[in-house]
Chain A
Amino acid sequence: MNTQTNTQALRFEPDFKSRAHDALADPKLRKSFRGAMDFLQSKRTAMFPDDAELQALRDLGEAVRKHALANLPELLVQLEEKLSANGITVHWAETADEANEIILGIAQRHQAKRVIKGKSMASEEIELNHYLAEHGVNCVEADMGEYIVQLADEKPSHIIMPAVHKTKADIGELFEDKIPDTHYTEDVDELIQIGRRALRHQFMEADIGLSGVNFAAADTGTLWLVENEGNGRMVTTVPSVHIAIMGMEKVVAKLEHIVPMASLLPRSATGQMITTYFNLISSPRKPGEKDGPKEVHLVLLDNGRTQAFADDELRATLQCIRCGACMNHCPVYGRIGGHAYGTTYPGPIGKIISPHLLGLRATADLPTASTLCGACGEVCPVRIPIPQLLVRLRTEANRNPHEAVAHPLRGQGAKYRRSEKLVWRFWSGAFAHPAIYRVFRWAATRLRALTPKSQLGWTQHRTPLKPAEKSLADLLNERGQPE
């Protein structure tokens, strides 16, 4: 059950710790991320000058998402009924492979060779570009950041700002190298215009437009897309077929419930009151209408989400609206950047969602890559208790693999070690039995000279630990205040 079949997991090399080590030693990368994180943090802070207002909105955001999750199976059925009535075809994909096959099937039915993509983390999650390319269908990313990352043959390092690790000089060189008739420039306006020109004919020529979905309303059958660039509108308007892919948790009960979410998302993500475009799609092109896709498909993706859903505590993971505020405020993410995580979703949200998508074996180090400082939970617009979930995932990773629990996680016990378990058993036993504890205390203080100089991980960067000459109880005794 712990065998990793996911292609993404197989490409995680080397491990998290050495990737993090390399990232920390790269001053250019450190500078890019520090600059971007400071920028995004101050933009967000400026959006919420009134803390009471922020807390009131977070209350609403949390209530909307919790309500949606509490009724998820019903809402998905409603959404499917409504979308079908509106003329949109709904597909259900339990795994990444199933989602890829569904999308390839639609492409093949239309003899499509070219897909133009709006930003979609779900499509990154299933490695769609890779899969379609293997089957002769070419995907082009149209979001500027995603386009840059695709040209460089890399992966996004941030869910909102995919090319945050790159400088304008990097991008100038990349464009000169990869886009015909392009001269090197570091002028950002010029670079964006180069990207615009390069992608414009792709919108015209593409057979299929593929997008993600930010929110879906079950009552009206509406897909709500949030963006600034206009590429999302292009891919959902110009090609004659539109395929949307969405994590199954993103449905909400009513369209009007999205209103506060649509305020929280851009303010938390990029520090904007609202983005340039909210694009609400409820049906394919109707008779008489002159543009818009003639066919619209929605792929609902599970890919491990039902595992998080099964557990009352871990279900909160699925409240996420993918704003990225947690990573923007994370002291670990800000230092190692997105690529070190090796997962589609980096940062705090990545640490709590990836174990469900990929299993704990492939992600065992991620829940420990946190100082538990609590910043992520504090900024989360829908109040996901991220630090609490990290602790829970640590527990599951250290649980005996054979221990029977109500909702076992894939990869349970990935970090379990018998020796460590014994140490803890001794420790809790000593604390539970006063006589044993006293003996231990006596031995620890009197035999302190025998403390080893090398104490595994601790002494890699620190001086060895040594018990004090006298215990607290000894000191109290001397002052005439026995235990």
Chain B
Amino acid sequence: MNARERMLGKLRAAVPEAGRNLAADNATISQRIAAHYAERRRDTSVHERVTAMCSALTAIRAEPCVANELQWPALVVAELVKSGVKRLLLDTASAEGTALEAAIRKADADIETIRYEKNIEEWKSELFDTIDAGFCVARSGIAPLGTLIVVPDAAAPRTISLVPPLHIALVRASTLQLDMQSVAATEGWSNGMPTNLLMITGPSKTSDIQQVLAFGAHGPCRLMVVIVTDADA
């Protein structure tokens, strides 16, 4: 008998009924959780969600800003210039990436845009030592928590939101939800998960030294969140 069989054997001996009502009991608990969150959810307008997202982000020392589809690229460029960003990592092929590149050209800003083309192994030290900021688009957000749901992919990998000292994330106001349960249900997490899904709430931080809060522990020191409303909002 190997370790697996021995461990499972001991567990099965203790709970011989295990698994008998698993599907039904799973559903009961899922329903209880869904009901718990549903009872606490109240109807809110997109505007209210944006306001909640902004105050939650401010409370955790992230830097929120609100702009419509036409305005946001210029706003981000202004912030990049102000922060002294010289090298920006982003997915230039995405609609948002294209818009941001165009705004950088229009502003004649001295910012080099870099696309994540190579595997991390091939440019690790360049990534760690020379990139000033990373830009990515969040799939959705949880307004009252100030949380971004980020699903990295081949064009916008995981390290964009992790390694550069400044992280700029774009989230559309229409995707803001009220709690994690509704995000999980709406996005169908149970049907299958991507390689990596991240919930990001503020810049990297720690209180490991005498309970004093300090930012920029290992991840980004700053997180700027652009909440994009509809063009006419």
Question: A: which residues have CB within 8 A of B?
Answer: 32, 35-36, 39-40, 53, 56-57, 60, 63-64, 67, 69-74, 76-77, 92-94, 98, 142-145, 148, 161-163, 166-168, 171, 188-189, 191-193, 195-196, 199-201, 203-204, 219-222, 228-231, 233-234, 237-238, 240, 248, 253-257, 259-260, 262-263, 270, 273-286, 288-292, 300, 302, 306, 309-311, 315
Contact = CB atoms under 8 A, between A and B. Distances in A.
Task: Kindly name the residue among A76, A167, A199, A306 whose own CB sees the greatest number of chain B CB atoms within 10 A.
Answer: A306
Contacts of B162: 230, 233-234, 237
A196 B205 contact: no
Given A237-B158, A248-B7, A291-B158, 14 more contacts: A57-B36, A64-B29, A70-B18, A166-B209, A191-B214, A219-B26, A257-B30, A259-B180, A276-B203, A277-B200, A279-B196, A281-B196, A282-B196, A289-B195
B25 A67 contact: yes
B30 to A, nearest CB: 6
A220 B193 CA distance: 7
Nearest to B210: A168
Given A73-B8, A161-B208, A253-B26, A280 B197 contact: yes
A92 B36 contact: no
Nearest to A195: B217
Interface stretch (B67-75, B94-102, B103-111, B115-123): B115-123
Interface string B122-157: 001100100000000000000001010000011001
A290 B211 contact: no
B13 interface: yes
A288 B29 CA distance: 38
B222 to A, nearest CB: 13
A98 B4 CA distance: 11
Nearest to B153: A289
A292 B209 CA distance: 30
B37 to A, nearest CB: 8
Contacts of B11: 72-73, 76, 306, 309
Nearest to A279: B198
A306 B209 contact: no
Given A276-B202, A276-B204, A292-B157, A229 B218 contact: yes
B204 A230 contact: yes
Nearest to A69: B15
B189 A220 contact: yes
Interface of B: 2-4, 6-8, 10-15, 17-19, 22, 25-26, 29-30, 32-34, 36-37, 40, 116-121, 124-125, 128, 145, 147, 153-154, 157-159, 162, 180-181, 184-185, 189-190, 192-212, 214-220
A402 B193 CA distance: 52
Nearest to B7: A302
Nearest to B217: A229
A309 B29 CA distance: 22
B208 A144 contact: yes
A220 B22 contact: no
Contacts of B13: 310
A299 B12 CA distance: 20
Contacts of A230: 162, 204, 217-220
Contacts of A145: 206, 208
Nearest to A191: B209
20 contacts: A60-B33, A73-B15, A73-B19, A145-B208, A162-B208, A163-B208, A192-B209, A221-B193, A228-B204, A229-B204, A234-B162, A237-B158, A259-B37, A281-B195, A282-B194, A282-B195, A286-B195, A290-B157, A291-B119, A309-B10
Contacts of A282: 193-197
Contacts of A270: 207
B30 A256 contact: yes
B220 to A, nearest CB: 8
A144 B217 CA distance: 8
Contacts of A280: 193, 196-199
B193 A255 contact: yes
A244 B232 CA distance: 48
A89 to B, nearest CB: 13
B181 A73 contact: no
A63 B32 contact: yes
A233 B201 CA distance: 14
Contact of A263 (B25, B180, B206, B214): B180
Nearest to B142: A274
B219 A278 contact: no
A233 B17 CA distance: 38
A421 B106 CA distance: 88
Given A73-B18, A204-B124, A292-B158, A192 B180 contact: no
A144 B209 contact: yes
A262 to B, nearest CB: 7
A290 B190 contact: no
A274 to B, nearest CB: 5
Nearest to A271: B207
Contacts of B220: 230
Task: Kindly name the residue among A71, A195, A234 whose own CB sees the greatest number of chain B CB atoms within 10 A.
Answer: A71
